[in-house]
Copies of this chain bind each other. A is one copy, B any other.
Amino acid sequence: MATAVRWDPPYLLYLGNAPDDLAAKTARGIAHWRPQHCIGQLSGSACQTTIGLPEMDIASAAAAGARTLIVGVANAGGIMDAETVATVIAALEAGLDVASGLHAHLADHPLIAATAARLGRSLFDARVAPATPVGNGRKRAGRRLLAVGSDCSVGKMYTTLAMEKAMQARGLKADFRATGQTGIFIAGGGMPIDAVIADFISGGIEYLSPAREDGGWDLIEGQGSLFHPSFAGVSLGLLHGAQPDALVLCHEPTRTHMRGLPHYPQPDLEACLQANLAAAQLTNPQARFVGIALNTAALDEAGAQAACAALESRFGLPCQDPVRMGCERIIDRLLAEFGH
């Protein structure tokens, strides 16, 4: 399976026929965190969302300098429909490379692969994991923070990206380490940890975040939740491989059940903190929590402030919504605990 190792900006972000906002979350994440790399969006014929960029067809985007079409839409099963395939082919014909985060790989589609080969274009599938050794749990140099979650899709990527931005603004060395397709597009690389072979989960994270000697922090994007019956294995292997010094718990306070599983309630946050800490301490006995990142998008301003204050008082940890309030107090705690 031939894949390019890089995909060049600027990007045209393809939204396909996303039926709702969440289906375009990859495109939206890229546009939010790397606006300087995004020159437009291309909606499919039945697209039901927008990410707020200028709508451009492929010819206009190519004329404006776009280098890569990114398929920024997700769907059940991660398949490529006929319209997506036609759009990818048209982009290749127009001179663009193409990147995708779908489970169905560009490089596995005969016509796409043949077209790219004929034209000398690059294809990049973010959900293809490089081969790595199995994890060994050996203590390695460097400082690592991991965002863990009470559930899937509660803001782990946004939290670690917000911390990277804020820490770099303070002149600190800090680097986001991506573990999902959206983060990989934003960071320019990473480890699609949900796509590795099960025996290599912790090894994949050891590979993603190796020993580091410059005193800086790796800020590792978590995935899933130890309390999500579908994906907890990924979360645990990630936690062990990350060997985190510092943990941030990410939580969405208005959820009534685990994402996608109406028959599972949300975990108690105290149990969630304890379970993550116990698991983390297997590979780093010094691991500790430095904050709670609350996703308050569903609350008004007063509600958001009250929710953060309540958790802060309950657990003695700084609690902020990184999108709404920044994450300065979580960083203050991190530096107070671990030094500059």
Q: Among B137, B229, B236, which residue has its beta carbon within 8 angstroms of that of A135?
A: B229
A36 within 8 A of B: no
**Copies of this subunit:** 2
- Which residue of the partner chain B has the closest CB to A238? B233
Residues from chain B with Cβ under 8 Å of A172 in the complex: none
What is the distance, in angstroms, from A163's C-beta to the closest C-beta of chain B? 25
- The answer to whether A193 and B198 touch across the interface, beta carbons within 8 angstroms, is yes
| Contact call A195/B202, Cβ cutoff below 8 A | no
Query: In the complex the two chains form, what is the Cα distance from A232 to B197 in whole Å?
Result: 13
Interface size on A, residues (CB 8 A): 39
Name the one of B231, B233, B240 contacting A229, with C-beta atoms under 8 angstroms: B240
Minimum-distance CB pairs A-B, first 3: A233-B237, A137-B229, A201-B233
The answer, yes or no, to whether A194 is at the interface (CB within 8 Å) is yes
Are B137 and A264 in contact, CB atoms less than 8 angstroms apart?
yes
Given A229-B137, A233-B238: A198 in contact with B202 (beta carbons within 8 A) = no
The CA of A202 and the CA of B264, in the complex, are separated in Å by 15
Contacts of A275 in B (CB 8 A): 278
Most chain B CB within 10 A, of A233, A236, A237, A238, is at: A233
Contacts of A231 in B (CB 8 A): 134-135, 199, 202, 237
A118 at the interface (CB under 8 A from B): no
**Which among B136, B199, B232, B241 is the interface contact of A282 at CB below 8 angstroms?**
B232
Q: Are A135 and B230 in contact (CB under 8 A)?
A: yes
A234: chain B residues within 8 A (beta carbon): 198-199, 201, 233, 237
- Given A196-B197, A282-B227, residue A233 in contact with residue B137 (CB < 8 A): no
Which residues from chain B contact A195 at a C-beta distance below 8 Å?
197-199
Query: Can you offer 14 A-B residue contacts whose CB atoms are under 8 A?
Result: A134-B230, A136-B261, A137-B230, A194-B198, A195-B198, A198-B233, A202-B230, A202-B233, A203-B230, A229-B240, A229-B241, A233-B233, A233-B235, A234-B237
CB distance from A119 to the nearest CB of B (A): 28
